[in-house]
Amino acid sequence: MDTKIDTNTPPLTIKDFASDQEVRWCPGCGDYSVIKAVQKTLVEVGARKENTVFVSGIGCSSRFPYYMDTYGFHGIHGRAPAIASGLLLANPDLDVWVVTGDGDGLSIGGNHMIHILRHNYNCVILLFNNGVYGLTKGQYSPTSEKGQITPSSPFGVIDPPLEPAQFAIGAGARFVARVVDIQQQQMIDVLKAAYEHKGAALVEIFQNCTVFNEGMCESFASKSTKSEHQIELVEGQPLVYGKDHEKGLKCDPGKLNLKSYDIGGEEDDGHCGIVHDPTNRTLAFLLAQMQMPDYPMATGVIYNDPAPSYEREVMRQIDEIRASSKRKSMSDVLHQGFTWKV
């Protein structure tokens, strides 16, 4: 992002980004971990409070702006992307962070999410995914697992979950990542990469809802399951996982898909392994759609292939028109094409 730093100003600390408001989330909620990671990220990248804006919708995660000592805007349900888009068109130099949840951002706000991603506004979008509507007492959300019991699905969810990373890549996002709330260092590394990306950067954050969906990440993020059921993506590094990195991913030419194999086993011919390339959109989509138990859950930066951001292209177009003979008056605009007097 385009942050103007005054070299004469003392470096900020984590406390400088914390507001005087009492942080009110449920005990054990992953939101506490996320806000600390964000504050650490802002310090490490040299962000300035006067240039930073947090925009949120509705939900537990959307209290975020109150707890940050920056500019903030608490919007209405699902509309945070629209507000962020307007901010960036008005001032492209702002550092804008959008904070939303799986219900807020992918249900009522799903259409807005599609367009901020495909337009590629220069902002970081934090999508808190706990698989339920936590604020409104645990109803199932677009990302709830099939069969999940909730107050609004007492006999189990019958529709398949929406996968945010696949959704984002399909919508045209140029940066897509996944992290887990309890994996602090990976989250900070990913947030820094998202911040430095020029364009819309979506970071899906898996987290447990300690009240309504406890254990959501247990199958792939706990100490006992992480090595076997999670693959941490690192650019330029082989796609391997397992306690001793004894498993890897390779192309299955018969199905044009990824396939898990044992390194050193019968299927290992020494030339099968894949090195992670976040600019490869096809590989990114294959990684995003991997599902347990047949595949590990991919975390880290899945896709990162920058393109010009929407607001910068708008500014460029305005500058070109001002400098050319194509400039039109308001009267010219109103009377071009099909116009009628009534």
State mean pLDDT over 15-25.
Answer: 95
- 30-33 long-range contacts (CB < 8 A, ≥24 apart) are 30/128, 30/130, 30/181, 30/182, 30/205, 30/207, 30/208, 31/60, 31/61, 31/63, 31/64, 31/128, 31/181, 31/207, 33/181, 33/182, 33/184, 33/187, 33/207
Instruction: Give how far the C-alpha of residue 273 lies from the chain's centroid of Cα atoms, to the nearest Å.
Output: 27
At 177-232, the pLDDT tens digits run 999 999 999 999 999 999 999 999 999 999 988 899 888 888 899 999 999 999 99
CA 89 and chain centroid, separation: 21
143-189 pLDDT tens trace: 989 988 988 999 999 999 999 999 999 999 999 999 999 999 999 99
d(CA 115, CA 111): 7
pLDDT band at residue 6 under the 50/70/90 scheme: low
Q: How far apart are CA 54 and CA 38, in angstroms?
A: 11
Q: What is the mean pLDDT of residues 265-286?
A: 84
CA distance 118 to 282: 17
Check residue 183 and give its pLDDT.
Answer: 95
pLDDT tens digits, one per residue of 80-136: 999 999 999 999 999 999 999 999 999 999 999 999 999 999 999 999 999 999 888
pLDDT confidence of residue 92 = 96
Our CA dihedral for 55, 27, 108, 164, rounded to 10 degrees, sits at: 90
DSSP assignment string, 31-93: HHHHHHHHHHHHHHHT--GGGEEEEE-SSSGGGHHHHBSSEEEE--TT-HHHHHHHHHHH-TT
Threshold 0.85, pTM exceeds: yes
Q: What is the mean pLDDT of residues 13-29?
A: 94
Which pLDDT value is given to residue 304? 98
Q: Using CA of residue 135, residue 33, residue 144, residue 304, what is the dihedral sign?
A: positive
pLDDT-above-90 percentage for the chain: 74
Return mean pLDDT, the chain. 91
C-alpha to C-alpha distance for 188 and 141, rounded to whole angstroms: 27
Indicate the SS3 state at residue 94: coil
pLDDT at 138 over 90: no
Q: Is the pLDDT of residue 326 over 80?
A: no
For 14-216, which CATH superfamily applies?
A: Thiamin diphosphate (ThDP)-binding fold, Pyr/PP domains (3.40.50.970)
In sequence order, what DSSP letters do the residues of 248-280 get, joined into one string? EEEEETTTTEEEEEETTSTT--SS-B-B--TT-
Which range in 6-10, 275-279, 337-341 is most confidently predicted, on average pLDDT? 275-279
Q: Which pLDDT tens digit goes with each residue over 226-271?
A: 999 999 999 999 999 999 999 999 988 788 889 999 988 776 666 5
Residue 328 above 80 pLDDT?
Answer: no
In degrees rounded to 5, what are phi and psi of residue 71?
-75, 150
Residue 1 has pLDDT above 60, yes or no: no
- Strand segments (E) across the chain: 52-56, 71-74, 95-101, 123-129, 132-133, 139-140, 175-180, 201-206, 230-233, 240-241, 247-252, 257-262, 297-304
Kindly indicate the confidence band of residue 74, based on its pLDDT and cuts at 50, 70 and 90.
Answer: very high
Instruction: Give the pLDDT confidence score for residue 270 in this predicted structure.
Output: 63
pLDDT of residue 336: 80
- Per the DSSP assignment, residues forming a β-bridge with 129 are 206
φ and ψ at residue 329, rounded to 5 degrees: -80, 165
How far apart (Å, rounded) are the C-alpha atoms in residues 287 and 239? Answer: 10
